[in-house]
Homo-oligomer: A and B are copies of this chain.
Amino acid sequence: MKDYFKHHPWHIIEEGFDPQYNKIAESVFSIGNGRMGQRANFEELYSGETLQGSYVAGVYYPDKTRVGWWKNGYPEYFAKVLNAPNWISVHLTVDNQPLDLAVCKVENFRRVLDMKTGLLSRQFIATFADGKRVKIHAQRFCSMAKGEAGAIRYAITPLNFSSAATLSLFIDADIINTDSNYDEKFWNEVYKHADEGQCVVTAETKKTFFHVCTGMRYKIYEGGKEINGSVNTELRDKFAGHVISVNLNEGAELVVYKYAAILSSENHPKDKLVENCKNLLKDLQNNGFDKLLAEHEAVWEHKWKDCDITIDGDIAAQQGIRFTIFQLTQTYTGEDERLNIGPKGFTGEKYGGSTYWDTEAYCLPFYLGTAEQKVARNLLVYRYKHLQKAIENATKLGFTDGAALYPMVTINGEECHNEWEITFEEIHRNGAIAYAIYDYIRYTDDKAYLAEYGLEVLVGISRFWAQRVNWSEDKKKFVMLGVTGPNEYENNVNNNWYTNYIATWTLRYTMEALAYVKDTDGNAYAKIISQTGFNESEIKAWQSIIEQMYFPEDRNRNVFLQQDGFLDKELIAVSAIKKNERPINQNWSWDRILRSCFIKQADVLQGLYFFEDEFDTEATKRNFDFYEPMTVHESSLSPCVHSILAAKLGYTEKAYEMYLRTARLDLDDYNNDTEDGCHITSMAGTWLSVIKGFGGMRVRDGKLQFQPFIPTQWNSYAFKIRFRNSVVRVEVDKTRVTATLDSGEPLEVIINGSGVMLR
């Protein structure tokens, strides 16, 4: 379904209503503000195919795990961010005919998401069965200025009739999760109330007992004059609403303003929720829609100022990269260290809204380069706060003495995933969490982070690695058995090169970090030593592992081997797979995939990307040339790494090809799965492809470097990047690279190897 949405530099546009694409559009047009977000469901009743979705960050439910065959160590629960109470509905009924786009004839339908302002709007003309025609113009936003507020302007113009009508405005907490393992409902009612112009429902999650208080107020105007129709209050289980009788007058626009407040017990005492909600509602109504929108737009303007990327000569690419920045920015604002980034953000339920290694390996650089330092920092603090749970997790698996294994999938620090080859074996995630600390400090120079939080995490992770390896009498080396690398098309392998590498790297970095804190902050060091029970003799064991770790390699080809035994496979290029058998994960049995040489996602190359300065370009080239032809890129996280490495190696066409694999993944529903939600975390890969790939951005020796090239398909492109206390703008066209200081302090950057002072 390429090209369903119109190309436009700043807008996502759907013209004409096609119910079969509605769930895809609901995903793509999603809006959020870091605290909450929602799919672009209709305000009016819709009896067609829809995935209703509204989410409140941090409010989750531990759903009982579903397993085929239980394995010791599996978690009993899968914590998932819940579909939360619905506050968007504005149901219109005219002469007993509900306005329902699955039933009415729909014309002039146009849905627009303005990425510049974060405003979702929709216009259409609907014809009821009796021929009455009504024009609707709906606008709504989740306020970036007030994280607990949403507002809707819903304008109704009867085109060929005057008639009495009813409007039903409500809060509905009787919500189902599509992603429920046992078809349970997850909410109980705690409180509900409806009085004049206002409804409030407090719902409580089962088991976790989060309270979410959702309220609404409304005003109705015609010709600028407030209307007061007769009102019936409707109170049902987990539901509070008003049914308002109004008169629609031919040609006259009736405007409903609905203000919503969504407060959770994560941010308010439970006994104050209703009061605070009502106060906020009063405040929202006093401000009014236009003022709230202006505030909201101002935040977006501020955000875009420092992070926009422009592409000249390719509107589709321009739209794609802005969609990436828009979605990542509205998903995570970094204001709350308890939050993180789910694979689908606020655009769907799939993967439970939980945190994966995507955050550290892909998203962190985006936030480092586009937002204030605290945004990225809070992603790190999130893991720090889960350190005890990671230690418990490792203990449950048989590790001891403070070894920490961070979960594959989590919300509150507890492991949620139950697939043994992933849960117990895809442990490279632990390395990515260590790497993120390094990456953050390299970028920000915030070395104090080590003493405050980072070192404890590094010690826990290093202890895990030290216990996870074992001495092979046969190889006279340390080995790491039974792991799954980033390439999940191999399971339970021995000596995954990437995992072995990141493990020893972590040990090295932890030793450096220990030394740094010891040298610079003796008190903090003493405290950490005491808290972790760290014994300096541990360093000796780590040193021994670092020196004697085994790394599989092919000495003939002079490449690193993904794992032991890789050369026993038939090594075939992806191009040999029949077209109708791609993607192989939809066409081949699992065992055929496992036995093949085909790679889901960069594995050795992921290591060469993370640790590029530890390898020369020739080594990178040999490995890229060996592995790229066997990589099917069936993870949306894969192409960006290949794009960046290809750019570095001068394979510019390959770099652009790989960039295209994710650039419009959701906008063009490339994988036929956008209806479940957008691929939020892999969007960061698109951004990385442009900035680190095309732009060649690196931080070395505390300096920002660029080595840009321009894809032949573009005329020029420009990006802004925030680095420490400066925002740099880089423009690249066919002949030139220009770097300027957009704002902040002067700094020296390196362009194509030469230092340039920007002032």
Contacts and interface: CB of A to CB of B under 8 A. Distances in A.
Interface of A: 65-69, 71-74, 396-398, 418-421, 424-425, 470-475, 479, 481-482, 491-492, 494-495, 564-565, 567-571, 585-595
13 contacts: A65-B68, A66-B68, A67-B67, A71-B590, A72-B589, A396-B589, A398-B592, A420-B590, A420-B591, A421-B421, A470-B569, A482-B591, A494-B565
Closest 6 pairs between A and B when the two form their complex, measured CB to CB: A73-B589, A424-B591, A474-B567, A71-B590, A397-B589, A472-B568
Contacts of A571: 473
Given A398-B592, A482-B594, A472 B567 contact: yes
Tell me what chain A mostly uses at the interface: helix, strand, loop, or mixed: loop
Contacts of A569: 470, 472, 481
Interface centre among A68, A418, A491, A587 (most CB of B within 10 A): A68
A495 B570 CA distance: 15
A368 B295 CA distance: 86
Nearest to A181: B68
A594 B492 contact: yes
A358 to B, nearest CB: 18
Given A398-B588, A398-B589, A568 B494 contact: yes
A595 B481 contact: yes
A274 to B, nearest CB: 38
A273 B396 CA distance: 56
Identical chains bound together, number: 2
Nearest to A423: B591
A431 to B, nearest CB: 17
Contact of A591 (B425, B473, B591, B592): B425
A183 to B, nearest CB: 10
Given A65-B68, A590-B73, A481 B565 contact: yes
A425 B590 CA distance: 10
A147 B495 CA distance: 57
Given A71-B589, A397-B592, A424-B594, 13 more contacts: A67-B68, A68-B68, A71-B590, A72-B590, A73-B590, A420-B590, A425-B591, A472-B567, A473-B567, A474-B568, A481-B568, A494-B568, A565-B565
Contacts of A588: 72, 398
Contacts of A595: 470, 481-482
Contacts of A590: 71-74, 420, 424
A240 to B, nearest CB: 34
Given A72-B588, A474-B567, A491 B494 contact: no
Nearest to A565: B494
A473 B702 CA distance: 46
Contacts of A564: 564-565, 568
A740 to B, nearest CB: 49
A88 B49 CA distance: 51
Contacts of A565: 481, 494, 564-565
Contacts of A398: 588-589, 592
Interface centre among A72, A419, A471, A587 (most CB of B within 10 A): A72
Nearest to A477: B568
A418 B68 CA distance: 7
A414 to B, nearest CB: 15
A470 B566 CA distance: 13
A72 B594 CA distance: 11
A426 B589 CA distance: 15
Contacts of A591: 73, 397, 420, 424-425, 482
A531 to B, nearest CB: 26
A67 B65 CA distance: 10
B420 A470 contact: no
Contacts of A65: 68
A661 to B, nearest CB: 22
A182 to B, nearest CB: 9
Contacts of A397: 589, 591-592
A467 to B, nearest CB: 11
Given A68-B418, A570-B471, A492 B494 contact: no
A570 B72 contact: no
Nearest to A478: B568
A576 to B, nearest CB: 14
A400 to B, nearest CB: 12
A213 B91 CA distance: 55
Nearest to A425: B591
Contact of A68 (B396, B419, B471, B495): B419
Interface centre among A74, A492, A564 (most CB of B within 10 A): A492
Nearest to A424: B591
A541 to B, nearest CB: 16
Contacts of A71: 589-590
A166 B592 CA distance: 64
Contact of A72 (B421, B482, B492, B586): B586
A593 B481 CA distance: 12
A673 to B, nearest CB: 14
Contacts of A424: 589-591, 594
Contacts of A396: 589
A564 B594 CA distance: 16
A160 to B, nearest CB: 51
Nearest to A570: B470
Given A66-B68, A67-B68, A419-B69, A479 B568 contact: yes
Contacts of A495: 568
Interface centre among A475, A585, A593 (most CB of B within 10 A): A593
Contacts of A473: 567, 571
Contacts of A570: 470-471
Contacts of A420: 590-591, 594
Nearest to A67: B68
Interface centre among A425, A475, A569, A589 (most CB of B within 10 A): A589
A592 B594 CA distance: 22
Nearest to A69: B419
Contacts of A66: 66-68
Nearest to A591: B424
Contacts of A592: 397-398
Nearest to A420: B590
A267 to B, nearest CB: 34
A612 B588 CA distance: 38
A569 B564 CA distance: 14
A481 B567 CA distance: 11
A734 to B, nearest CB: 45
A481 B490 CA distance: 11
